[in-house]
Chains A and B, each alone.
Chain A
Amino acid sequence: MMFARRLAFRLATTAVTLVGVAVIVFVVIRVVPGNPIAMMLPPGATEADIARLRALYGFDRSIAEQFLIWAGGVLQGDFGTSITARRPVLELVLGRLPATLELATLALCIAVVLGGSLALAGARWRETRTEAAVDVTNGIGLSVPDFLWGLILILLFGVVWPLFPISGRIAPALAREFATNFYLAEAILRLRLDLLGALLAHMLLPALALALPLAAIIAQLLKQSLKETMHLDYVTLARTKGFAEGRVIRAEALPNAVLPTLTLVGVQFTFLIGGTVIIERLFSYEGLGNLAIDAVINRDLPLIQGIVIVFAGLFTLINLGVDMLYAALNPRLRRG
Chain B
Amino acid sequence: MHINRRSLLKLSAATLAAGTAGLPAVAQGIDELVIAYNVTLPSWDPTVGPSAVNPTLQGLYLSVFDRFIDQNPDLTPAPGLLTEWGWTDNNTKVRMVVREGVSWHDGSPFTAEDVAWSLDRAGRDATGNPIQFIWSTLTNIRAEGNVVTADVARFEPTIFKWMYFLTGYVLPKAYYEKVGPEGFEAAPVGTGPYMVEAYERNAFVRLKANANYWGGKPAFDRVTIKFVTDAASRVAEVESGNSHVTLEMPYEEFDRLKGRAGLAGTAAPVSDIAMIFFNDIGPMLDPNVRKAAVMAVDKRAIVDRLLSGYGVPIDTLQTPEYVAFDPTITTPYDPEGAKALLAASGYSTANPVRFTIQTTRGFKPKDYEIIQAIVGLWRRVGIEAEIEVYEIAKHFELRAADQLAPAAFYNWGNSVGDPTTSTGFAMFGPSPHSVWDGADLIEKIAPLWGEADEAKRIAGWKDVDRYIAEHALVLPLFQYVQPILHDARVKVVPHASGALLPHLMSPA
Contacts and interface: CB of A to CB of B under 8 A. Distances in A.
A61 interface: no
A40 B48 CA distance: 11
A199 interface: yes
B216 interface: no
Contacts of A52: 125
A155 B239 CA distance: 10
B227 interface: yes
Interface in A167-205: 167-169, 171-173, 175-176, 193-194, 196-202, 204
Nearest to A283: B233
A167 B425 contact: no
Interface stretch (B36-44, B78-86, B440-448): B36-44
Contacts of B424: 43-44
A103 interface: no
A284 B393 contact: no
Contacts of B128: 56
Nearest to B40: A294
Interface string A30-48: 0001111111111111110
B242 A167 contact: yes
B237 A83 contact: no
Contacts of B394: 33-34
Q: DSSP class of A's interface residues: helix, strand, loop or mixed?
A: helix
B432 A201 contact: no
A165 B51 CA distance: 29
A206 to B, nearest CB: 11
Contact of B393 (A163, A172, A286, A299): A299
A211 to B, nearest CB: 16
B133 A46 contact: yes
B16 interface: yes
B236 interface: yes
Contacts of A154: 232-233, 236
A142 B272 CA distance: 43
Interface residues of A, number: 70
Given A86-B43, A197-B18, A286 B49 contact: no
A151 interface: yes
Interface stretch (B195-203, B343-351, B485-493): B195-203
Contact of B397 (A35, A87, A162): A35
A50 interface: yes
Task: Tell which of B18, B21, B240 has the most Cβ of chain A within 10 Å.
Answer: B240
A164 interface: yes
Contacts of B49: 40, 83-84, 86
B185 interface: yes
Contacts of A45: 130, 133, 431-433
A121 to B, nearest CB: 16
A95 interface: yes
B201 A39 contact: no
B133 A38 contact: no
Contacts of A169: 203
A166 interface: yes
Contacts of B50: 36, 39-40, 83-84, 298
Interface of B: 14-23, 36, 40, 42-43, 45, 48-51, 53, 125, 128, 130-134, 166-167, 181-182, 185, 198, 200-204, 206, 224, 226-230, 232-233, 236-237, 239-243, 390-394, 396-401, 420-421, 424-425, 430-433
Given A47-B432, A282-B230, 9 more contacts: A33-B390, A33-B391, A34-B393, A41-B53, A43-B433, A162-B23, A172-B206, A291-B201, A298-B42
What 10 A-B pairs are tightest by C-beta distance, nearest first? Answer: A34-B393, A201-B19, A197-B19, A197-B18, A40-B50, A33-B394, A286-B203, A38-B396, A84-B42, A43-B425
